[in-house]
Amino acid sequence: MQDLARPRPPRMRRGWLLVLLTLVGCTPAAPSTPVVGDHSAAGGENGAAARTVIVAQTATSKLYGPWEFSSTASGVAALAEIHTTGLVTYDANGNREGRVAARIPSFDDGTVSILPDGRMRTVWSLRPNVRWHDGTPFTAEDVVFSWRVAIQPEILSSISPNIWQADIVEALDPHTVAITYKTPYFRALDLDHRNLWLFPEHILAEPFEGDKEAFLAIPYFTTEYVNLGPFRLVEFGLGEQQVFEAFDDYFLGRPKLHRLIIRTITDANTMLANLKAGEVHMISEKTISPEQAVTLRDEWAHTGEGQLVARQDNWAYIYVQFDPQFARPLELSRDPRLRAGLLQAIDRDAIREFTHPGFADTSGDTFVPTSDRRAPIVGEPFARYHYDPARAAQLFAEGGWSRAADGRLIGQDGLQVQIETRASNQTWAKEVALIADFWRQVGIDAKELVPSPALSRDSEWTATVPGVAIRARAAADQMLVSFDSRLQATEQNRWQGANYAHYASPRLDALIDRLKSTVDVRENGMVLRDAGELLAADLPALPIYFRTAFAAVRQGVKALTDDYTGIVGHGDMARNAHLWEIE
């Protein structure tokens, strides 16, 4: 028992982790035989095949719209700007830039103002030459209609909370729209395609007035999709082989590629085999594990067949179930000492060393990315929880879990503590194995569960985890929606809430509201710091690391290599798809 409480020497820990990672990596996988490409899909017109790029993702696209693109796993959401465009997007340095908006509103020119009653008003000028894929001009009335869809209670999407803060959206003329917020709002200008998905009023106004479940089932959202992006849908292919052609009237100029195909290959090993064989030209982000990324990076460094690109991504953490109808063991949701014990039983540094070798900015001691100007203000609120099995045992004892003579950790019910340890998707398989093993060392019966790609996109399954689950969703203040008690995912809202943990803290809710209404960056950072301290004390989330997102592109395809590293927004990988080329 004394040995179990003593931290192992670093070299021993690394050796043990390497063995475990190797064992996990030996789990049988689907065959990695390349899928033979349907090159006829890229043919037809002269030269079309030569200007066709195939991009792979690991999940089937069920429909187009914010409801399907709420999860950033499997690479689906990252490709949205192939076909869909918002008011803004983000450049390679993370700065906002207008998309269908002609410019970003500003206090300097009066297009952002605080009204006498305390509300904030933003006035957006729209580009005059924007057309829907069916040729109909895009107008300010489409923005108003899209806001109505976004705030419809029956079909809320968890990725659109920014626009929910709007009090009034009105068209001032065909190319000017005013959005008035209830209070000053820090994210008032962050209206990319995720935060305000634009919909064509001339197509959807009539069906939207009817039953909302029936509304989402109309062909528009699958086979008849129309939006504003550089490529228009020509074949839905059951969401598994989506074919898009260049939209001649795209407002930033006709795309350089003729055709772009999004192909679903559910097994990451098979997808990589197709990439190496040239059957696909690119793989979307969040489709391969860090270990696979490292292997590909090193292989291509020698062969020159392509390039792996990487960027700092979301804050990865373990969330605990707080809803008593699902939570097991129940006391884990009620006692932060038990949650702190779980965290200090994990050697997070060793996990990072093996999962992200050679990649920078991976520490999970902060939840604010290095590119965020508020990062120095927030600091590292979770740095206090270093690896310490002895301290973990003490915290367990204080929370009513005791160590039996045979090494098992006994819960308040007199039985061994059992915690179902889930991955939110397949890319977390190794982390689940490592964390579960750390917990077994302190006497917990940790049950590992890694879902299929389809199950990982099932919001109900995600929101009803009985124990804990590993996920990564956003960072800084945008991560806090996952712990906002007003955004819980329930059966009543079709499991569309962002708060899968069902965590509820009036104090955190109040800080979230202050963050929204605090426009000054420094003052906002100080509020964010307070939120971080609350999270570090109550631990609804147990930090792991800052995730790194990877994508890959074959030699001969001009895409991603110049602008991917600086991406900060989710779903921005394809923001310059109109500039992609193939030799």
Task: Verify that 363 and 398 share a domain, yes or no.
Answer: yes
Q: What is the mean pLDDT of residues 157-169?
A: 83
Helical (H) or strand (E) element with 402: strand 402-403
What pLDDT does residue 494 have?
87
Task: Verify that 260 and 404 share a domain, yes or no.
Answer: no
Lowest mean pLDDT among 90-94, 101-105, 192-196, 244-248: 90-94
Answer yes or no: is 402 within a domain: yes
What pLDDT does residue 49 have?
64
Burial (0-12, 13-18, 19+ Cβ within 10 Å), 31: exposed
pLDDT above 50 (res 43): no
Helices (H), 258-357: 268-277, 290-303, 330-334, 336-344, 348-355
pLDDT tens sequence across 180-196: 999 999 989 999 998 99
Task: Verify that 327 and 404 share a domain, yes or no.
Answer: yes
Task: Verify that 419 and 559 share a domain, yes or no.
Answer: no
Q: What is the mean pLDDT of residues 209-213?
A: 90
What CA–CA distances, in Å, run from 475 to 478, 493, 528, 532, 546? 6, 24, 11, 11, 9
Q: What is the mean pLDDT of residues 62-69?
A: 90
Q: What is the pTM of this model?
A: 0.75
What percent of the chain clears pLDDT 70, i.e. is strictly above it?
90
pLDDT above 70 (res 537): yes
Residues 6+ apart with CB under 8 A from 420: 328, 447, 449, 465, 466, 467, 468
Answer yes or no: is 67 within a domain: yes
Distance (Å, rounded) from C-alpha 181 to C-alpha 120? 5
What pLDDT does residue 279 have?
97
pLDDT above 90 (res 225): yes
Q: How confident is residue 570, by pLDDT bands cut at 50, 70 and 90?
A: low
What pLDDT does residue 37 have?
43
What pLDDT does residue 491 have?
93
Task: Verify that 378 and 481 share a domain, yes or no.
Answer: yes
What percent of the chain clears pLDDT 90, i.e. is strictly above it?
73
Distance (Å, rounded) from C-alpha 342 to C-alpha 304? 44
- Residues 123, 111 contacting (CB under 8 angstroms): yes
Q: What is the mean pLDDT of residues 124-143?
A: 98
Task: Verify that 253 and 367 share a domain, yes or no.
Answer: no
Q: How confident is residue 47, by pLDDT bands cut at 50, 70 and 90?
A: low
What pLDDT does residue 9 have?
33
pLDDT above 80 (res 209): yes
Distance (Å, rounded) from C-alpha 333 to C-alpha 472? 20
Tokens 């489409």, residue located? 142
pLDDT tens sequence across 541-559: 999 999 888 999 999 999 9
How far is C-alpha 177 from the chain's CA centre?
29
Task: Verify that 280 and 385 share a domain, yes or no.
Answer: no
Question: φ and ψ at 178, to 5 degrees?
Answer: -110, 130
**How many structural domains does the chain have?**
2
Answer yes or no: is 469 within a domain: yes
What pLDDT does residue 31 have?
41
Domain that holds residue 79: 39-84+229-305+551-583
pLDDT above 90 (res 215): yes
- Residues 534, 295 contacting (CB under 8 angstroms): no
What pLDDT does residue 164 have?
86
Task: Verify that 471 and 578 share a domain, yes or no.
Answer: no
- Residues 167, 181 contacting (CB under 8 angstroms): yes
Q: How confident is residue 115, by pLDDT bands cut at 50, 70 and 90?
A: very high
Q: What is the mean pLDDT of residues 377-400?
A: 97
Task: Verify that 336 and 401 share a domain, yes or no.
Answer: yes
Answer yes or no: is 23 within a domain: no
- Residues 34, 273 contacting (CB under 8 angstroms): yes
Domain of 513: which CATH number?
A: 3.10.105.10
Answer yes or no: is 201 within a domain: no
Q: What is the 3-state secondary structure (H, E, C) of 104-173?
A: CCCCCCCCEEECCCCCEEEEEEECCCCECCCCCECCHHHHHHHHHHHCCHHHCCCCCHHHHCEEEEEEEE
pLDDT tens sequence across 332-346: 999 999 999 999 999
pLDDT above 70 (res 18): no
Lowest mean pLDDT among 28-42, 165-179, 207-221, 445-459: 28-42
pLDDT above 70 (res 91): yes
Average pLDDT, the chain: 89
Task: Verify that 463 and 415 share a domain, yes or no.
Answer: yes
Q: What is the mean pLDDT of residues 231-247?
A: 97
What pLDDT does residue 569 have?
65
pLDDT above 90 (res 445): yes
pLDDT tens sequence across 242-268: 999 999 999 999 999 999 999 999 999
pLDDT above 60 (res 13): no
Domain of 580: which CATH number?
A: 3.40.190.10
Answer yes or no: is 288 within a domain: yes
Answer yes or no: is 458 within a domain: yes
- Residues 409, 401 contacting (CB under 8 angstroms): yes
Answer yes or no: is 2 within a domain: no
Within 10 angstroms of residue 410's Cβ, the number of other Cβ atoms is: 17
pLDDT above 70 (res 472): yes
pLDDT above 70 (res 8): no
Task: Verify that 275 and 376 share a domain, yes or no.
Answer: no
Fill in the DSSP letter of residue 7. P
Q: What is the mean pLDDT of residues 422-435?
A: 91
Task: Verify that 285 and 338 share a domain, yes or no.
Answer: no
